[in-house]
Amino acid sequence: MQKALVWLRRDLRLYDQAALHHALKNNSQVWLAFIFDTDILTPLLKGELDANGLKHDRRVDFIWQGLQKIDEELGQQGTGLIVQVGNPTQSIPQIAKDLGVNTVYTNRDYEPSAIARDSLVQSSLEQMGIGFESFKDQVIFEKKEILTNSNTVFSIFTPYKNSWLRNLQEKDIAAYDCTPKKGQLSPIPPKLEAPLPSLESMGFSSTGIESYLPPGSEAGQQFLEDFLPRIDQYQIGRNFPAIKGVSYLSTHLRFGMLSIRGLVREAHRRMLAGSMGATIWLSELIWRDFYFMILSNHPRLAEGAAFKPDYDNIQWESGPHAKKLFKAWCEGKTGYPLVDAAMHQLNQSGYMHNRLRMVVASFLTKDLGIDWRWGERYFAEHLNDFELSSNNGGWQWASSSGCDAQPYFRIFNPITQSEKFDPEGKFIRRYLPQLDKLSKKSIHAPWQAGHIELEAAGILLGRDYSQPIVNHDQARKNTLVRYSVVKKISAE
């Protein structure tokens, strides 16, 4: 009788799941486990704690609630989810041994630290005579599956996308059947039976994230069904943060509560039917594959290296002044309303609209002259949908140091971005209510408003709202000088 353990990580669902499918296909008894990895949790516990000495982290809460839903679903089939807190390199081999399984099944991860972890787990299992099998599940194409005509890795997105679409076949996006046979999902043995560890026992507090971002596959599916009637206008709506124009699926996708194959199937079908919105949305999903591919082929990026090495010669602002500027950016006190409103959105909810991610990243690197790695780390700490590959790719794109990045001389003007994408100031008013009484003209740059309008709105700059911490026109000139070192090196 073949027995298997499915090790869940960032694939928190029981449908269309590659590792679960193969485990059920090849074994008569199957169990599922998740490990809250202390190597990941311990760094998260640093920093500010609440009055009870607990850390507020929406992602840990989101995962924890998602696991509860999986446990409940498995409970209806006579089993449950084995959940432990510890180091997976020790926990998984021990669980596998206690269950007496033949093989551990899991889905591949592409971050260097995860690859190293999985290698240690595999080695330990092999010493015990237990197999380790991993599968592609969180991307459509991985590693070196999409290559240039000269068999090299792509570094430019558009030709990668074109090749990705040419290579796409039905089998690449077909759903995996994960229906167990009766009794195949086995009860947890008494030795391993235990309630899910509480958030508090791990040092974390409840965050209330479920009030606006309910976790689990069912909730993810509801978000998808809510988005599909809007998908045909996605190419327009996605740029305006004050309207409901995007999918809001990124966090469920990040933790595998939704299947990437299901999303691509839906987008691709609609693209073939002529939907421009679905075409653009599919392109965004392909960007996700692109950044996974880039990271898996260039692991040095996880260590903070610029994709274009010449850009590591840029002299960023440093010292107390840089820290002061960065603090103002983090707290949404730059004096540029669209930037500040976006940072308030992030700090309050863990979400930031994609257009605004580009705006605030450009502002940090090219208006304030702050190293993009500072912003990358801040997003990594605060984004609900934080994904190393996409976060790194996005920040390097904005700072012009990445593959297929924004040219260094192309610098977002935060005022014109605001006027173009939040013309009525609705988004700004939502997150900066102190500016609510300003006209739709003045709200994008309050310091340009007259004294009479500011007084009538009850605003004293420097007291009710920040003065601009930098002059954009001067900052633009400084950036062109700062980046000239790259132009010089490239010419040599």
Q: Which CATH architecture has domain 1-137?
A: 3-Layer(aba) Sandwich (3.40)
What is the rounded distance in angstroms from the CA atom of residue 175 to the CA atom of residue 262?
7
Q: Does domain 139-175+218-297 have CATH number 1.10.10.10?
A: no
Query: What is the structure's pLDDT at 388?
Result: 97
Burial class (CB in 10 A: 0-12, 13-18, 19+), 380: middle
Give me the helices (H) in 27-169, please: 38-44, 58-75, 88-99, 112-127, 157-167
Query: What is the structure's pLDDT at 302?
Result: 96
Interaxial angle between packed helices 372-382 and 354-362, expressed in degrees from 0 to 180 and rounded to the nearest 10: 150
Give me the helices (H) in 208-258, please: 217-227, 234-237, 250-254
Query: What is the structure's pLDDT at 488?
Result: 63
Query: Which residues are designated catalytic?
Result: 284, 287, 316, 354, 372, 395
Residue 219 sits at φ, ψ, to 5 deg, of: -65, -40
**Structure token pair of residue 455:** 């007084």
Cβ neighbours of residue 475 closer than 8 Å, sequence gap 6 or more: 366, 367, 368, 369
Query: What is the structure's pLDDT at 181?
Result: 96
**Residue boundaries of the structural domains of the chain:** 1-137, 139-175+218-297, 309-491
Query: Nearest to residue 18, comparing CAs of 172, 194, 150, 231?
Result: 172
Q: Is 58 within 8 Å of 66 (Cβ atoms)?
A: no
Query: What is the structure's pLDDT at 1?
Result: 83
**Structure token pair of residue 415:** 């005022």
What is the rounded distance in angstroms from the CA atom of residue 353 to the CA atom of residue 331?
17
Under CATH, domain 309-491 is a member of which superfamily?
DNA Cyclobutane Dipyrimidine Photolyase, subunit A, domain 3 (1.10.579.10)
Q: Is 144 within 8 Å of 153 (Cβ atoms)?
A: yes
Residues in the chain, how many? 492
Burial class (CB in 10 A: 0-12, 13-18, 19+), 113: middle
- For each successive 10 residues of the chain (492 residues), what is the average pLDDT? 96 98 98 98 92 96 98 96 98 98 98 97 98 98 97 97 98 98 96 96 97 98 98 97 97 98 98 98 98 97 95 96 98 98 98 97 98 98 97 96 87 97 98 97 97 96 97 96 81 51
Query: How many CB atoms within 10 Å of residue 137?
Result: 24
